Structure 1
């Protein structure tokens, strides 16, 4: 036996997380934990890490006993945590000053990139012990060869996730815990992920991941469903019954309210929302985009796809005014050529933008109310006094999302799914002509992803807004998206 929870109850503040929870993890077992509540899955992994307060019951960890006995005999400070590695959903990287103070557009600024170490240096400096997982071994396993000299802030979401797994392995863990590890991975990496897990298992590492039913790797031997604060072990064959939530199992969108909120969308007539002519972006000798031409006309709905590192994020940064190389290219946004005297706010105003990583760039003191209102000003937080009309519209959006009682809650305290819906409302509150959603459902559980999709479909049905939708998951793409631009690494 590696680890056991017996009748464990866990509380955080006044909230009960688990009641009389039983779980036994034996040698040779590799687990997938699924459930409808993403936060509860995260709490379970944190419990295994020893980061949640156990108020009753017993937790035993035989996997670490020999290690603890040996280190104690030698007089070395030790913990069972030394043998556990964890890959979470938070952004784990910091700059050379050991501050996690990146701003969104920093990844596209070559001067700021100099303040952040490369992939190779990050792995060399990561906490590690001597063992089978050396730098060359993790580089090869996670396919990071071409990224070794790349600055951390220039990595895509999927590349960052692979790097986090590599760093975790260099700790030489006996137990590897991963919270939705396939989030942000492209189709190719997801297809090879099962083999990656098999290679990790082959050297004696035991794996437990939280995931969604549709993404349970075949190499995992056991599956459990976390619901009602308890775990239930299930057979793989039964997963199909819970992997496809019905559309009628979620609250329907109040389309009349949504129609009123979107009534002023697309107030200015333009010929093109986006027009690119042979646009190229490169850093030194490395091309990110090369002679890309593309046009998005009003009301068109596009899927933007491609593997990690193909340039999707760079392209989006050009469209939302964040990339300094925009001025060196032939880019026309809303019939106005970049570099003809427009301000950054002129560029941003007609475009609503949603991306999961935006959440981490709001100041920690920003409330739900302030984050929503900041959409009027395209700022990462509210720093201007809104008008009564703007406040009235914000109240209506909160009512539509069923969040009026949480208006004064700090944004980072909001559950992940509600954060994402709020970011969508923030993007729409100014009635943009173009909406860009970059992996909007990333990190959400199955039911939450469906709700996000249904809400997006309602927007497309009601408004004549243009859309650029980025996703690695076909099932997340809203109905109504009819055109595709696929990028490939240069």
Structure 2
């Protein structure tokens, strides 16, 4: 049998609707572990689609000598969520769709390979996942969903595993556990990593590949120190001066500097008799920037959704927002006009085909999609944001045809475009390469010092600190054990 698990020989392939990769020559051998690096839209995820057999081979030869392939990616996570959402269509039959139980998804039989139940038992304990097995899938947080997919992939006993940003959405403890698990299984499974963060590269990696504009620019073994130094130079960011585009004047609201933007008193969220958090008192004053911390499932997103009104329990709590008491007759738009927002769940829900330019403009109207005729000034401002994010050449590209990283940048710009009094950034840097991650962090720092916007920032990476954020709320302080 060939030592090559995957072999690409002069392959030209069509990926997605309009992404073409050509002249691909690459081999993955047994006991090799690769990391694919490069900027957003460089072709990293597209290359993974090719080796997974999810692209149209136009010419050349792709051969696979694998018994079982596994993949972890944002797209896979999104597909599983959308499959669950389709079950809601059962309401046309007057049936309440309860959703699939987590353990049903985890232990779905594999026709090609028996599941490793001993490993399943170990990993559910290692990732503190056992208490979630009886839960409904749709009740899992983003990080908990990622853990489910990881454990499911491992226990299916693959001989090759593609991991596209596997650490995204995991808290620090879970990310550390994943690094340990990957190391333990690296002797049995060959792995291909797609990573934007150099600091997440596992120690056992044997080979690097750098991609640019749909091409493998170069690849080399880890032992080639000269090539490694060249790669680090390519990834190094030369920080440019950033100027935030102006707001669309005039704004239709004013903020009292002595009045809390947000005030929660004894806040509590409960799901299926499980208390997510309780007795939470929080007051956010203008220009008081906060970082929200806590492990996966601790209730960070639940808390933010109380503020945005996307959690129905917001009406069961004592919440004041911008001078309105929640549930006192205010409209959802009276609240949303004051807020800019980006999160993993919002990204998943933004399933529209409008252009990149109109995606940013939709932030002026707090809509998913664009249903208003924008002003010339709004178009001008949105184009300035595209220029700032180096996406001007994709102005007319449909949102759903862009790479995940480019989509993320657009949604961040959308959240900031109206210079909202309150900007909620729930893990904004997920899916961004090193250059764009640093660019976004610098943008957030600029926003913090602008004097017009208060920031709430959620992040699992200690190195992604924002200068100007000096208030901290730890969700662990409000949980019952």
2 CA distance for matches of 1:30 and 1:350? Answer: 47
Q: Are 2:366 and 1:378 equivalent residues in the alignment?
A: yes
Instruction: Output the CA distance in 1 between the equivalents of 2:167 and 2:41.
Output: 14
Mapped partners of 1:377, 1:127: distance in 2: 46
Q: Quick one: structure 1 residues 131 and 59, their matched pair in 2 at CA, closer, same or farther if it must change by over 3 Å? A: same
- Deviation of 1:305 (Å): 1.1
Match of 2:86 in 1: 99
Kindly indicate whether residue 181 of structure 2 is the aligned counterpart of residue 196 of structure 1: yes
The separation in 1 between residues aligned to 2:463 and 2:87, in whole angstroms, is 33
2:64 to 52, 61, 64: 61
Which residue of structure 2 lines up, in the alignment, with residue 296 of structure 1? 284
Q: State how far apart, in whole Å, the 2-side matches of 1:221 and 1:381 are.
A: 41
Quote the residue 2:238 is aligned against.
Answer: 248
- How far residue 128 of structure 1 moved from its aligned partner, in angstroms, is 5.3
CA–CA distance in structure 1, aligned partners of residues 285 and 472 of structure 2: 13
1:154-197 CA-partner distances (Å, limit 9, x unpaired): 22221111111122234332212111111111100111112212
Q: Provide, for residues 411-433 of structure 1, a one-character-per-residue CA deviation record: whole Å limited to 9, x for no partner.
A: 11123333222212222233311
Q: CA RMSD in A?
A: 3.2
Kept in 1, the 8 Å contact 2:356–2:397? The answer is yes
Aligned partner (choices 221, 224, 235) of residue 222 of structure 2: 235
TM-score, normalised by the number of residues in structure 1 = 0.83
Alpha carbons 1:114, 1:151 under 8 Å: kept: no
> Do 1:375 and 1:429's aligned partners in 2 also have CA atoms closer than 8 Å?
yes
**CA spacing shift, 1:36–1:303, aligned 2, 3 Å:** same
The alpha carbon displacement at 1:309 in A equals: 0.7
Given that 2:10 and 2:25 are in contact with CA atoms closer than 8 Å, whether structure 1 keeps it comes out as: yes
Aligned to 1:268: 255
Instruction: Kindly indicate whether the alpha-carbon contact (under 8 Å) linking 2:11 and 2:62 is maintained by their aligned counterparts in 1.
Output: no
Q: Which stretch of structure 1 is more off in the superposition, 322-331 or 377-386?
A: 377-386
Q: Distance in 1 between matches of 2:73 and 2:84?
A: 22
**1:408: how far off?**
3.1
Q: 1:399 to 1:176 in 2, by over 3 A?
A: closer
CA distance in 2, matches of 1:323, 1:98: 17
In structure 2, the residue matched to 1:41 is 44
Paired with 2:253 and 2:63, the residues of 1 have a C-alpha distance of: 60
Structure 1: which 5+ runs fail to align? 65-82, 103-111
CA distance in 1, matches of 2:125, 2:326: 41
1:342 matches 2:330:
yes
CA deviations 1:368-407 (Å, max 9, x no partner) are 2432232233222223444555445444544544545534
C-alpha displacement of 1:129: 4.5
1:24-81 residue CA offsets vs partner (Å, 9 max, x unmatched): 413x3333333334652212222221233445554333344xxxxxxxxxxxxxxxxx
Structure 1 position 7, deviation (Å): 4.3
CA distance in 1, matches of 2:171, 2:452: 30
- Between 264-273 and 314-323, the greater mean CA deviation after superposition: 264-273
Q: Describe the SS at the equivalent of 1:59.
A: strand
Corresponding residue for residue 92 of structure 2 = none
1:121 equivalent to 2:99? Answer no
1:433, 1:466 within 8 Å by CA — same for their partners in 2? yes
> Are 1:367 and 1:407, in contact at CA under 8 Å, matched by a contact in 2?
yes
Q: Deviation of residue 311 (structure 1)?
A: 0.5
Distance 1:485 1:150 in 2: 27
- Cα distance in 2 between the residues matched to 1:143 and 1:243: 35
Give me the whole-angstrom Cα distance separating, in 1, the residues matched to 2:23 and 2:83: 43
Q: Which residue of 2 aligns with 1:456?
A: 444
Q: 5 Å matches for 1:27-426?
A: 28-37=31-40, 39-64=42-67, 83-90=68-75, 91-94=78-81, 99=86, 114-125=97-108, 127=110, 129-134=112-117, 136=121, 139-140=124-125, 142-201=127-186, 204-211=188-195, 212-218=197-203, 220-228=204-212, 229-230=215-216, 231-235=218-222, 242=231, 245-248=235-238, 251-255=240-244, 258-259=245-246, 267-270=254-257, 271-387=259-375, 390-426=378-414
| More moved, 368-377 vs 343-352 | 368-377
The answer on whether the counterparts of 2:42 and 2:211 sit within 8 Å (CA) in structure 1 is: no
Q: Distance in 1 between matches of 2:370 and 2:57?
A: 39
8 A contact 1:265–1:464 mirrored in 2: no
